[in-house]
Amino acid sequence: MSEIISNIINFVRSINPLIGLFIMFFIGLYIFWKEAVRSRKNNSSVFDAFIVSIIVGVFIGRVVYIILNWSDFSSYIWYWLPYERYGDQIYLFRLLPWRFFQFWDGQIDILYTFLGVLLSQTLIVVFRKKWRWSEMFSAMYLSNWVMIALTYLFVGVQGKNDIWIKHGIWILIPFVLFLLLQGILVNMYKDKRKEVVRMILHNIFALVAVAIISYVYFSSSPQIVTIVGIVILLVWYIAGIIMNTIDSKKVNNVTIESVSSVRQVSIPEVTKPIRLPR
């Protein structure tokens, strides 16, 4: 068993950080799409919303990282070509300002990356797509939840940081528990009760997710910028849970009556003679 774990760790460490990011984003996209399918959203619209939010999130995470670690970047020389050449060796994006775009080196702020993803998804879903909150809340927080956990695990394994690996496991275990409970409880009910159970379960685990993520960051003596990010994340989750509860109740209280557009014809009307025009 230990040999298998060792082989997995060595394999993860051999993965290029950029490929690792793409794998995590792909897993997040699958969960986002899977949850959105329940509300019968168009696939292209779902992918657009997710991909645009990921681009915005990575950009925000990179900018925040650069600001917090400006002393590391200010020592670089500004060079307006995207490459350097020394003999036969060519180096890409090593000098400023091109180094700002080299996010695949793993130097992005994880909290603000996924906070940017959540906020941009909210803007796209609510204001651009005009979708119901109850339809997309689960898709947004579940996909981000698993991506944060996997990012901690991936960065921890690659950097041989046991604390980050432990934090990633703490965040990931409740997600696995959520999947198991959802598979058991939701299948026990039908019709409206099924959706009510699903809504309650998602709200409970949304609180669990933000509680664990907040604990992980607060346990590592965060800077003031990180504390601000955690507060924004808490506000988003709590507001999201309240809106999800209200919106779900509105949807469940809607009843659709079937009205026939065909007028009922009585028996005497059927027996009347039909006059044809001359």
Domains of the chain, by residue range, sit at 2-69+107-253
Contact 32, 143 (CB under 8 A): yes
Q: Which residues have CB under 8 Å from 123's CB, separation 6+?
A: none
Which pLDDT band holds residue 276 (cuts at 50, 70, 90)? low
| pLDDT tens per residue across span 10-51 | 878 788 777 888 888 899 999 999 888 877 777 778 888 899
Phi, psi dihedrals of residue 91, rounded to the nearest 5° = -115, 125
- 3-class state of residue 92 by DSSP: strand
pTM (global) more than 0.85? no
Contact 138, 35 (CB under 8 A): yes
E runs forming strands in the chain: 83-86, 89-92
Which pLDDT band holds residue 255 (cuts at 50, 70, 90)? very low
Q: For residue 21, give the nearest of 119, 155, 131 by alpha carbon.
A: 155
Q: Report CA dihedral (213, 157, 56, 72) to the nearest 10 degrees.
A: 100
- At 90 the pLDDT is 74
| Cα–Cα distance measured from residue 64 to residue 67, given in angstroms and rounded to the nearest whole number | 5
